[in-house]
Structure 1
């Protein structure tokens, strides 16, 4: 029971974080676009919308359990990209807090990798992933 509870709480935390991130983007998309432009990326408004939609997809995967491991790996890559793009070494000199933000992304990555390996648990999870989707194709071939 404790294992199931821990897994469900972890899924709620992962899902909740990505719901909040997407919500803040939808509330003020221009602020997100400005941050993206400030980091030197082209098409900042388009990328802000892409980020918000991607984060909603991640939240759905974490909350439902569908494509959970795949979402955890993608979220890990996304989180590390964000660490370097928005909190990387070029920003540490002027603000020590940026180093802390940078390092925090790696602790988040550790949790996501652990989740990817162990999956969404047995309770309240849609057990659907790429292995299950492509299993019928392998049987035909």
Structure 2
């Protein structure tokens, strides 16, 4: 029971983090676009909208468990990309705090990778995906590895 509770809390934390990120984007799309433009990306407003809807899709995957492992892997790549793009080594001389933000992205990536490997749990999960498959009774999840 404690494993189930921990997994559900982790899923809520992942969903909450991406829901907040999407909410800030929707509430301030122009500001988000300005941040994207500040690092030299083209079509910043379009990218801001794409990012916001992408984050909403991640929230849905984390809350429902559908395509959970795929979402966690894609989210890990996204968070890693954001870490390098907005807080990478080229930013450290301007603001030493950005190094801390950079490192925090790696911690988040580690959690997402762990979640991708272990799946959404056996409770309150739609159990649909290309990677994660539900464990059948009497079958070891690690038998195929």
Give the TM-score, by structure 2 length.
0.89
- Aligned counterpart, 1:103: 103
Alpha-carbon distance in 2 for matches of 1:131, 1:73:
10
Q: Secondary structure at the match of 1:130?
A: coil
- Aligned counterpart, 1:94: 94
Alpha-carbon distance in 2 for matches of 1:59, 1:39:
26
- Aligned counterpart, 1:3: 3
- Please report how far the alpha carbon of residue 131 of structure 1 lies from its aligned counterpart in structure 2 after TM superposition: 5.0
- Please report how far the alpha carbon of residue 130 of structure 1 lies from its aligned counterpart in structure 2 after TM superposition: 1.8
Instruction: Extract structure 1 runs of 4+ deviating beyond 4 A.
Output: none
- Aligned counterpart, 1:120: 120
- Aligned counterpart, 1:50: 50
**Structure 1 residue ranges without an equivalent (≥5):** 133-141
- 1:65-87 deviation line (CA, Å, top 9, x unaligned): 00000000000000000001000
C-alpha RMSD over aligned residues: 1.3
Alpha-carbon distance in 2 for matches of 1:62, 1:119:
10
- 1:25-66 deviation line (CA, Å, top 9, x unaligned): 000100000000001000000000000000000010001000
- State whether residues 69 and 117 of structure 2, in contact with CA within 8 Å, keep that contact through their aligned partners in structure 1: yes
Give the TM-score, by structure 1 length.
0.92
